[in-house]
Amino acid sequence: MPTNAPLAATNLYKHYALQGKQINVLCGASFTTSPGESVAIIGRSGSGKSTLMHLLGGLDKPDAGKVFINGQDLYKLSERKRTLLRAAQIGFVFQAYHLLPEMTIAENVILPAMALGKRSRKEMMVRAEMLLERVGLSNRLNHKPQELSGGEQQRAAIARALMNEPPLILADEPTGNLDTVTGDHVMDLLFELTRERNTVLVMVTHNPETAARCSRTLTLNDGLLV
Ligand SMILES: Nc1ncnc2c1ncn2[C@@H]1O[C@H](COP(=O)(O)OP(=O)(O)OP(=O)(O)O)[C@@H](O)[C@H]1O
Ligand SMILES: [Mg+2]
């Protein structure tokens, strides 16, 4: 079933083998997105939300089932092509920011563009500065991640996710490590920046208010999305 949706998953299966025991995490999870839509993924701890996000983002192979990004069968691509598609089409925002500690904030933000290798460093830096200004960090360009607060680091991670103007943003509990006020601010920013550009946003959240702001909520339960 090839599909031209921005993101579609069909019949995803994933298990882990742990100490001789098999844990079936995903057992036929499917869903499709429409352009401009935001989808909240909820489910109890351990239900497989992060596992699903990794599969959707091309970070880990499913045992069975397919992921389509703009009609492209993600796991049919070679490793190299998948890496390029990921850099061009998907922006990731994780709970634990994942900024590289030895690089400055601006250098972290241009990383996805470096992976594509299409723009000069100068061009990339101009865009990074624009994005960091958008997220309120124009005075932190040359700081190292550990010199920033949690909320600032997550805002930098959002700027990095938007570096290549990807049509799809995957966010796994992006405000899970932040206090409520900071988290709300980061969430406002994420919604604003994705809505502006009609980007599809798929977000794992524990917060019912955040889920309510999305166009749709899917619950992961017994390995299925309902
Ligand atoms: N690398 C792994 N090896 C073995 N088991 C794993 C591995 N990664 C995840 N699991 C198991 O798979 C299940 C789903 O994990 P996952 O991280 O996807 O859950 P989650 O819904 O994101 O939970 P949380 O809300 O706590 O983040 C859990 O029971 C977990 O213990
Ligand atoms: Mg998780």
* Residue 122 is assigned to a structural domain of this protein: yes
At residue 100, the pLDDT reads 97
Q: Please state, in angstroms and as integers, the Cα–Cα distance from residue 180 to each residue in 38, 72, 165, 166, 185, following that order.
A: 21, 38, 28, 28, 9
Per-residue pLDDT at 86 exceeds 90: yes
Sheet arrangement for strand 216-221: 90-93, 168-172, 200-204, 38-42, 216-221, 224-225
Of all protein residues, whose CA lies closest to atom 13 belonging to ligand 1?
46
CA distance 70 to 68: 6
3-class DSSP assignment, residue 70: coil
Predicted confidence band of residue 2 (pLDDT cuts 50, 70, 90): low
Domain, as residue range, for 161: 36-59+78-219
At residue 189, the pLDDT reads 92
Q: Is the CB of 78 under 6 A from ligand 1?
A: no
Per-residue pLDDT at 8 exceeds 80: yes
At residue 109, the pLDDT reads 98
**How does pLDDT run across 50-80, given as a tens digit for each residue?**
999 999 999 999 999 999 999 999 999 999 9
Residue 162 has phi, psi (to 5 degrees) of -95, -5
Q: Which of 50, 94, 173, 206 should be mutated for ligand 1, with most atoms under 8 A from CB? A: 50
CA distance 160 to 91: 8
Residue 132 sits in a domain whose CATH number is 3.40.50.300
The domain total for the chain is 1
Q: Is the CB of 46 under 6 A from ligand 1?
A: yes
Q: Is the CB of 48 under 6 A from ligand 1?
A: yes
Q: Is the CB of 18 under 6 A from ligand 1?
A: yes
Q: Is the CB of 47 under 6 A from ligand 1?
A: yes
At residue 4, the pLDDT reads 84
Predicted confidence band of residue 103 (pLDDT cuts 50, 70, 90): very high
Distance from the alpha carbon of residue 149 to the mean position of ligand 1, in angstroms: 27
Ligand nearest to the CA of 59: 1
* Residue 120 is assigned to a structural domain of this protein: yes
* Residue 107 is assigned to a structural domain of this protein: yes
* Residue 131 is assigned to a structural domain of this protein: yes
This model's pTM is above 0.85:
yes
Angle separating helix axes 150-162 and 121-134, nearest 10 degrees:
130
Locate the ligand 1 atom nearest the alpha carbon of residue 173 and give its number: 27
* Residue 117 is assigned to a structural domain of this protein: yes
**How does pLDDT run across 34-53, given as a tens digit for each residue?**
999 999 999 999 999 999 99
Distance from the alpha carbon of residue 222 to the mean position of ligand 2, in angstroms: 15
* Residue 72 is assigned to a structural domain of this protein: no
At residue 113, the pLDDT reads 97
Q: Is the CB of 208 under 6 A from ligand 1?
A: no
- For residue 185, give both structure tokens: 């601010």
* Residue 211 is assigned to a structural domain of this protein: yes
* Residue 209 is assigned to a structural domain of this protein: yes
CB 84 within 8 A of CB 72: no
